[in-house]
Amino acid sequence: MQINTNPDSHVDDAVVQDLLARLEQLEQENLALKLALQSQSTGQDLYQHFLLHLPTPCMITSVYGMVMYANLAAADLLGTTPEDLNGMQLQKFVFEDHAILDTQFAELQTLGGPSACELRAIRADRKLIILRLEMVLLQVNGQQSCLGMQMKDITGRQGQLMTQAEGQYFANVVAENVPGLVAYWNSDLRCTYANHQYLSWFGRTPEQMQGIRMQDLLGEELFLKNIAYIKAVLTGVDQQFERTLIKANGESGYTWAQYIAHKVDDVVKGFFVLVTDVTLLKRAQQALVDSEAKNRALVRAIPDLIFTIHRDGRHLDVHAPDPGMMLQSREQLLQSKVADVLPAHVASQYMNAIEQALESGKLQEFRHHLPVAGRGEMQFEVRVVPCSQDTAIAIIRDITETERQRRAHELQLSERLQVRENDVRAIQLSLTMASDISNIGTWIRDLRTGELWASLEWRRHFGFSQDEPLSLEMAIQRIHPADRRQIESATGDYREAQAPRYQAEFRVTPPGEAERWLAVVWQVEFDEQQKPLLTRGVTVDISARREAELELGQKRMEVMHLARVATMGELSGALAHELNQPLTAILSNAQAAQRFLASPNVDMQELGEILQDIVDEDKRAGEIIRRLRRLFDKRSHEQHSVDINKLVLEALHILRNDMINQGITLLTELHDNLPHVSADTVQLQQVLINLVMNASEVVADLDASQRIIEISTRLTPENRVEVSVNDHGPGVPEHLGNKVFEAFYTTKANGMGLGLSICKNIVEASGGQLWCENHDSHAGSGASFRFHLPAAQEAAT
């Protein structure tokens, strides 16, 4: 066996010889080293073999620690083989204590050996051991050459090393970094170590603390108080207690300080005390205790049954405030599974909910019935929440009573509803009876679907049988053509509520029946979005009233006509009377003149006088007519503020029956918000009636569809209120021009020719103008008689 595997670190005989002398100095137990050196010097196999198998670990290294030889025990100590160790740096095996080894090497080189040290080493298998190294420097010719060393595992030998390396390490690394105060006390109760936190807490220096007696530090009273603890810890029983700790300078300290005293029974005998601030911990513990108590109280207050159930159906815990709800005793339940206790279909409800809750992490709810001994069929509401990975909590509430109450309440409600429905039906019945008696027809039309529902009476009004399907269009078809337009335009578009209520009067012709008059009132109802929803209305047969009115109207017209004739008669009588004189005078003068002219001697002067008389008399007649016209003028002096639209509607009301009798349709287009005009209301109405009467006379001979008179009002850009009466008659022949407005001009056989002339006077007396124009230049397209009046100062109201 060759020791030197590294040729650079060859140990020659001279070296060995020199060292052998030094070997004598080595202690007896350093046998291995001696043998190593011996074998090196002699090179005998026996020694080498012996060395290799020697149970004492030993090796030879360079002065810097490179392994040149290691025996089996040494390699084994470091968890490796001699071959692997060869050429390795010993430092590689040292844990943190390199300084110790380096110091040792330096000392050996300067002071020589032998020397020893203890250090922590890491074996090849990463195990930490504590090594004691004894070394000797092998010198050759005064030259440093190599180191012989013997190793010992002293890991099990606590104490000495603790005080040196580990003790130091503990003090430096652990004690100084512990979040608390640390102090060592020896068995004489003197302090041998205090960490910096301890020192700063009590405001002391290490020197002040070193060796101080506990009695002196604590004071006699406190020391005596603690003597029991101290004795206990010195007998080997660890002490742990809590109390407040105030800083030495009186500042507030730890509310809760935990004291731990632990005996150290090693090279140093004594104990150490560790004081840590456990205030937060204490508070947290207290809070935990409080909240646990609160939770327990809460749970106690919950009337529900609470089970903790494992995914596999085992009952893990039970909270049962009402034992009557339990199917088995608590103990039995805790030893059984859900499926053992509940009927299969209910158990599967539970198991499904648990599975779902654990999978989704969400609350699951369901209800079930269950017959419970002594309590009959009970109803439960179950909520399942996940608790941990494999457990869920099922909260089971008895809802038997609440369900019973709810059902009773529902029953009550439906009974009440039934009563209401009966009431409503009774009211409906009375309404139907009332409407039957009063001949009122009712209808409702759904504006979204167009569906029309109508009462029997309504069907009777329009001539529909009881089961006939209805529609608005069908009903309109039965309305008199002349009245249809007003109904069609009113029912056309309800998008904006034009009026809260609509009303109309019209004729209907039910098939095979006589024409009848209906009055109708209806309203539109809107939904929340203000969209028209339905129309609801009533119809009343007003034929009888209408007939009476028509008859009355006819009578009135006859009277009016008579009055007009009488007035005209009176007027013409007065005219004849007034004109009689001048005309008689003119006649006799003219006859006298004739006679004069027939005589052979014409007295020219006389003739001249006669002719002068004739001229004078003619002037007088002219004057009479002018006076008559002034008479009309005088009548127009009662000026009022007049709402033209209102006046038009009133005039139409007077004329309406007459127009209906003649089959004439009156249409209006009245402009809103017109200013008032200043005029004599009665006279202005007369003007309008006159114009409409004239128009009615010209359209009377036309086809029914052409018998239309339109009356419209508007405000002109010159701020005048204009009224026009349009017809579809032949119009006014162009060559006549304004002649129609002259007094006594008429084209009618029995016309007076005064109407338009009087109208013109009335309009002009109020500061207005009356004129006529044909719709078109060619005849037959109708005439338009118009007048306008200046707007009065005050605005329309």
Residues lying near ligand ADP in the complex (CB under 6 A) = 694-695, 698, 727, 729, 731-732, 740, 745-748, 751-757, 783
Closest distance to ligand ADP from the beta carbon of 586 (Å):
27
Based on CB atoms, which residue is closest to ligand ADP, 72 or 698? Answer: 698
Closest distance to ligand ADP from the beta carbon of 725 (Å):
8
Based on CB atoms, which residue is closest to ligand ADP, 418 or 567? Answer: 567
Instruction: Please identify the residue of the shown chain whose CB is closest to the bound ligand ADP.
Output: 755
Based on CB atoms, which residue is closest to ligand ADP, 694 or 724? Answer: 694
Give the strands of the sheet with 180-186, arranged side by side: 191-194, 180-186, 269-277, 254-265, 239-245
SS3 percent helix, strand, coil of the chain, rounded to 5, is 45, 25, 25
Query: What single DSSP character describes residue 166?
Result: I
Q: Are strands 783-790 and 269-277 parallel, antiparallel or unpaired?
A: unpaired
Based on CB atoms, which residue is closest to ligand ADP, 358 or 740? Answer: 740
Closest to 646 in 3D by CA, of 628, 673, 615: 673
Closest distance to ligand ADP from the beta carbon of 632 (Å):
13
Closest to 338 in 3D by CA, of 390, 379, 328: 328
Cα 451 to Cα 472: distance, rounded to the nearest angstrom:
8
Closest distance to ligand ADP from the beta carbon of 779 (Å):
10
Q: Say which amino acid occupies 73.
A: A
Segment (H or E) for 29: none
Based on CB atoms, which residue is closest to ligand ADP, 441 or 731? Answer: 731
Based on CB atoms, which residue is closest to ligand ADP, 580 or 747? Answer: 747
Based on CB atoms, which residue is closest to ligand ADP, 386 or 755? Answer: 755
Based on CB atoms, which residue is closest to ligand ADP, 670 or 698? Answer: 698
Closest distance to ligand ADP from the beta carbon of 643 (Å):
25
Closest distance to ligand ADP from the beta carbon of 729 (Å):
5
Segment (H or E) for 259: strand 254-265
Closest distance to ligand ADP from the beta carbon of 552 (Å):
25
Q: What b-and-e string marks burial along 564-575, b requiring 16 or more CB atoms within 10 Å of the CB?
A: eeeeeeeeeeee
Based on CB atoms, which residue is closest to ligand ADP, 542 or 693? Answer: 693
Q: Are strands 269-277 and 254-265 parallel, antiparallel or unpaired?
A: antiparallel
- Give long-range contacts, CB 8 A cutoff, 24+ apart: 86-91: 86/5, 86/6, 87/5, 87/6, 89/64, 89/65, 90/61, 90/65, 90/66, 91/65
| Residue appearing with tokens 């008859």 | 551
Based on CB atoms, which residue is closest to ligand ADP, 113 or 731? Answer: 731
Cα 23 to Cα 31: distance, rounded to the nearest angstrom:
10
- 94 forms beta bridges with 121
Cα 344 to Cα 338: distance, rounded to the nearest angstrom:
9
Q: Are strands 665-670 and 708-715 parallel, antiparallel or unpaired?
A: parallel
Cα 675 to Cα 790: distance, rounded to the nearest angstrom:
9
Closest distance to ligand ADP from the beta carbon of 475 (Å):
36
3-class DSSP assignment, residue 603:
coil
Cα 610 to Cα 582: distance, rounded to the nearest angstrom:
13
CB 124 within 8 A of CB 81: no
- Give long-range contacts, CB 8 A cutoff, 24+ apart: 234-240: 234/187, 234/263, 234/271, 235/263, 236/263, 236/265, 238/262, 238/263
Closest distance to ligand ADP from the beta carbon of 720 (Å):
22
Closest distance to ligand ADP from the beta carbon of 790 (Å):
24
Based on CB atoms, which residue is closest to ligand ADP, 53 or 739? Answer: 739
Q: Where are the alpha helices (DSSP H) in 66-187?
A: 72-77, 82-85, 98-111, 160-161, 167-169
Closest distance to ligand ADP from the beta carbon of 784 (Å):
9
3-class DSSP assignment, residue 697:
helix
Cα 704 to Cα 695: distance, rounded to the nearest angstrom:
15
E strands present in 266-410: 269-277, 305-310, 315-319, 364-372, 376-386, 391-398
Based on CB atoms, which residue is closest to ligand ADP, 516 or 728? Answer: 728
Based on CB atoms, which residue is closest to ligand ADP, 638 or 773? Answer: 773
Based on CB atoms, which residue is closest to ligand ADP, 675 or 782? Answer: 782
Closest distance to ligand ADP from the beta carbon of 533 (Å):
47
Closest distance to ligand ADP from the beta carbon of 742 (Å):
8
Closest distance to ligand ADP from the beta carbon of 711 (Å):
13
| Residue appearing with tokens 């003649």 | 662
Based on CB atoms, which residue is closest to ligand ADP, 175 or 754? Answer: 754
Distances (CA, A) of 472 to 144, 462, 661, 775: 131, 11, 28, 36
3-class DSSP assignment, residue 623:
helix
Closest distance to ligand ADP from the beta carbon of 789 (Å):
20
Closest distance to ligand ADP from the beta carbon of 474 (Å):
38
Give the strands of the sheet with 532-541, arranged side by side: 452-454, 440-446, 532-541, 516-526, 501-508
Cα 15 to Cα 138: distance, rounded to the nearest angstrom:
7
CB 129 within 8 A of CB 120: yes
Closest distance to ligand ADP from the beta carbon of 758 (Å):
8
Based on CB atoms, which residue is closest to ligand ADP, 669 or 701? Answer: 701
Based on CB atoms, which residue is closest to ligand ADP, 343 or 751? Answer: 751
Burial class (CB in 10 A: 0-12, 13-18, 19+), 181: buried
